[in-house]
Structure 1
Amino acid sequence: MNRPTKIAAALAVIALSYPAAAWFTGQKVQAVLDEQYAELQSHPTLKMTERSYERGVFSSTEKITFEMVMPTAAEDGTLQAGEPLRMHAINHIKHGPLPGLSTLAAATMDSRIVLDGTPDESLKLPLEIRTVFQFDGSGRSAVSSPALEFGMPDSSGNEVRFGLGELKADIAFSAGLRSYTTKGTADSFSMEDPSMRITLSGLVFDGDQRRLFDDEPWLYVGKQRATVASMDVSGKEDGQLDGMAFQLERMSYDIDAPAEGDYVNLKALMGTEVLRIGDTDYGPAHYDFSLTHLHGRTLVALWRKLMEISTDPAVLAAQEEDPTALLAPLAEPAMALLGYSPAFSIDRISFSSPHGKTDLSAQVRLDGLQPEDTANPMMLIAKLQAEAKLSMPQVLLQSFAGGEAEDEDEAAFAAAQFEAQLGALEAQGYLQRDGNIVKTQAAFRQGQFTVNGKPFNPLALGGQ
């Protein structure tokens, strides 16, 4: 057999076997999607209500409808069960091993999303989602969207306008969605209703997440980060928030949630270089906190219960007469989580002002708590360990004390009273003054409250 004949024979074998290979990869991709949707059904509020799958030899078409229960705020401030948000996805899938003759992969999938519930008609989101599935079940999705504006009614019948700038995102996922990475940008976001307008620009985000437990699809650990160039919030003239205005610039949001066995340790860092309220800039401002030794499976149980009650019509109706109705169902999973001795820490709250810098830190933990102790409030108090430190400009404290004064004489009287109170506390050792800065620290250990290391009884102090 000469060379041209061999080549022709090889091409014939490939041509004859390619339909079988495409059918096989089509089965493989359908199985991957089946697995993902089966796990989605365990979500407390997001459900797949319809799905059709038409599979051919070289391509398939999938149509899915999702529903997400959306609570709405009533005029009295209570939450009510609203109509579910319906999303329709249409997926056009090309089978490998050479889908569309453009790449080597198990399949490519192009998706289109449609939302129900707009005032006049369904909203076709101009999202372009291209997913490439590899032969091992992993893949990568590229998401892009041009600028978009639309309106939706709120619970009072007023229109809320939304604006989304150009969006780009890249998501890489492993087989079974056991881990994923994200990276993306969004030019802008805006929301406007009759009382206020919010605008945000220059969003950049990325993340690296993995499942803590293979059988739990809703608990991921890892890192997430986002930065925002600017954010403006302003109340509208003659609206409920008339006169309100603040701006933030160069914001950052970092979350690091590593796993330690079956436990999660979470640390969040939030900061902004500019925090302008009215004409005063309080930046740089920071809010850093930590949640450590969180038992993973108990944490998921608490999260699931929170999602369930936030959309339960019976619970939402009960809150009108009893505001604690939303919290009562959380008591059991919350107490179970406390039984694993988690710790909460405000690592830093800081902001600047024309008078100087303010710093606050605090830690709260329950030492040696046993699961059976959670049923006894006295045991919780006995094992509660807490401490806090505060450093603040005296002038800023004084402005709080005289903030309700109606005239200069009343403000002067309030300032004199406040100075006398500070002097008494300083004389007793409960605080120190370093120039313009007031410093103090408090602790609660073994049932005793101390300030600057001295036993402190607020009731006795008030009686002096």
Structure 2
Amino acid sequence: MSRPTKIATALVAIALIYPAATWFSGQRIQAVLDEHYADMKSHPSLKVSERTYERGVFSSTEKVSFEMAMPVAAEDGTVQAGEPLRMTISSRIQHGPVPGFETLAAAMLDSEVVLEGEVGAALRKSLGGKAPLVARTVVKFDGGGHSAMTSPAFELAVPDGTGQALRIGFSGLKADIDFSAGMRSYTMKGTADGLSMEDPDMLIELSGLVFDADQHRLFDDEAWLYAGKQRATVASMKAEAKEEGELGDTRFELELLSYDIDMPGKGEYLDIKALMGTEVLRVADVDYGPAHYDFSIRHLHGRTLMDLYRKLLEISGDPAQLAQQTEDPAALFAPLAGPAMTLLAHDPEFSIDRISFTSPHGTAALSAEVSLKGVQPDELSNPLMLLAKLRASADLSVPQGLLLAFASNEAEDPEEADFAAAQLQQQLELLEAQGYLQRQGDQVKTSAAFSQGQLTVNGRPFNPLAMGGR
């Protein structure tokens, strides 16, 4: 057989085999998507309202509509049922093994998101008919893959239900996600140049957002609980009240913000360690940076945590329950009490690892730990039994000059300010004499602990009612 004949025979074989291969790939990608939307059924607030799938030999199309309850504030201050947030994802799916003749994979999806309703119409007008979010996703033969998402810049006015409008400006977003089969694990990296939100009272501007994540499911059968790491940084953020608004002269700026979350999984339990900080924290004309807020929560029972999360999302999406909470804020906690108490029975520990900020008078810092050990199921409804098993401790260090500044801050004239400062000075001297605090240089330091129903301050039993007579 001559070389041209061999080539022609190979091409004919490929031409005959390729449709069967693409048909098989079409079946495979449809099964992958079916599994994904089966997981969506367990989401507590985002519901799939409609899904259509039309499969061909070389390509398919899919259209999926989602719906989420959106309560709104009425003019009288009550919370009422608003129009649900509705969005549709339309995808053109090119089957493998060489989708679009661009890569070797099971499929390649080109998707776009469209928001419905009044907000969606305004967004489409702002974007000149373009989709607010588009994505190209390449799905490998094992069900994993890569997705590249982009969002264009837009400006939008969103009515808030009170006759006012929230104006949103967005400079666009780029994100890349690598995922394993069934989204059992994923990594993500993304950037957004800027975001602004403006209402009649306040203007908020954010710039230079960078985010990434590396996460995996804690349980194979729980689609919405992930362990791993998340990080975000923001170059700058500022909020400024408008002169004609109701918030006075409120104004603050933050620069070089960072947000790090590490959530390692340990069997059925999850730990959370959060580090939040900003190099600049300017309130009015005073800079309190660097400022930090770091906290840890250890030994959280994963499945109970998801029960609590689902209940919270159920409440936030139910206008009737939100309306009830407007009249009685305590009503919020009633439906959460069951899973919250069960969570306590697993001996979680909470600690404020660091709260600190720098003032013109020096650095203020606080750390604290709280835990409940050995709580039994029959003790969960007994506050006195829980109090007996509560363990807590805290350490505080504050510049004396900052305390004096706060004490005289509300004074109407210098004479009143001097009087307030003198009173505070006397109180500090009394507490120091009683052993409840120490003054080291310009810092006022104290510690507190609560154990077995007893409160101590600086290691001394503390009774607030008897404090003045010591």
TM-score, with normalisation over the residues of structure 2? 0.96
Distance in 2 separating the partners of 1:348 and 1:99: 52
1:12 aligned residue: 12
Partner of 2:254: 248
Tell me if 1:37 matches 2:48.
Answer: no
Secondary structure at 1:375's aligned position in 2? Answer: coil
**Partner of 1:132 in structure 2?**
138
SS at match of 2:351: strand
In the other structure, the counterpart of 2:294 is 288
CA contact (8 A) 1:127 1:143 kept: yes
Q: Deviation at 1:77?
A: 5.7
Per-residue Cα deviation, 1:264-296 (whole angstroms, up to 9, x for no partner) = 000000000000000000000000000100000
Question: Measured at CA, do residues 77 and 267 of structure 1 come closer, stay the same or move farther in structure 2, by a change above 3 Å?
Answer: farther
- Which runs of 5 or more structure 2 residues have no equivalent in the other structure? 125-130
Distance 2:172 2:337 in 1: 43
Map of 1:60 onto structure 2: 60
1:216 aligns with 2:237: no
What are the residue-to-residue correspondences of 1:230-309 with 2, within 5 Å? 230-309=236-315
Q: Shift of the alpha carbon at 1:241? A: 1.8
Residues 322-355 of structure 1 deviation map (CA, whole Å, 9 limit, x = unaligned): 2211111101110000000101100000000100
Separation (CA, whole Å) in 2 of partners of 1:317 and 1:234: 30
- What do the CA deviations read for 1:415-455 (whole angstroms, capped 9, x no partner)? 11111110000001100001111000000011100000000
> Alpha-carbon deviation of 1:119?
5.6
Instruction: Name the amino acid aligned to 1:314.
Output: A
1:103 partner SS: coil
1:424 aligns with 2:430: yes
Distance 2:95 2:291 in 1: 52
SS at match of 1:229: strand
The corresponding residue for 2:127 is none
Which of 261-270 and 454-463 deviates more? 454-463
348-357 vs 367-376, greater mean Cα deviation: 367-376
Instruction: Tell me how many residue pairs correspond in the alignment.
Output: 464
How far apart, in 2, do the equivalents of 1:426 and 1:7 lie?
95
CA RMSD in angstroms comes to 1.4
Work out whether residues 208 and 234 of structure 2, in 8 Å CA contact, stay in contact via their aligned partners in 1.
yes
Counterpart of 1:321 in structure 2: which amino acid? E
| Contact 1:272/1:285 (<8 A) preserved | yes
Are 2:333 and 1:314 aligned? no
2:336 alignment partner, SS class: helix
Match of 1:459 among 447, 453, 465: 465
Q: Quote how far apart the aligned CAs of 1:6 are.
A: 2.1
Deviation for aligned residue 1:71: 2.8
Q: Is 1:204 aligned to 2:210, yes or no?
A: yes
Cα displacement string for residues 302-327 of structure 1 (whole angstroms, at most 9, x for unaligned residues): 00000111122331222233221111
Match of 2:101 in 1: 101
TM-score, with normalisation over the residues of structure 1?
0.97
- Of stretches 362-371 and 256-265 in structure 1, the one that deviates more from structure 2 is 362-371
Change (3 A) 1:436 1:76: farther
Q: Cα distance, 1:75 vs. partner? A: 5.2
Question: What's 1:354 paired with?
Answer: 360
Change (3 A) 1:452 1:397: same
After superposition, residues 74-113 of structure 1 pair within 5 angstroms as 74=74, 79-113=79-113
How many Å separate the matches in 1 of 2:421 and 2:158? 49
Rounded to whole Å, the distance in 1 between the matches of 2:193 and 2:32 is 33
Contact 1:179–1:210 (Cα < 8 Å) also in 2 = yes
SS in 2 for 1:352: strand
Where do 4+ consecutive residues of structure 1 move more than 6 Å? none
Alpha-carbon separation, structure 1, partners of 2:165 and 2:333: 31
Equivalent position to 2:399, from 393, 404, 408? 393
- CA distances 1:378-431 after superposition (whole Å, capped 9, x unpaired): 111011000000000011112222222222222211111111110000001100
Deviation at 1:78, TM superposition (A): 5.5
Partner amino acid for 2:90? I
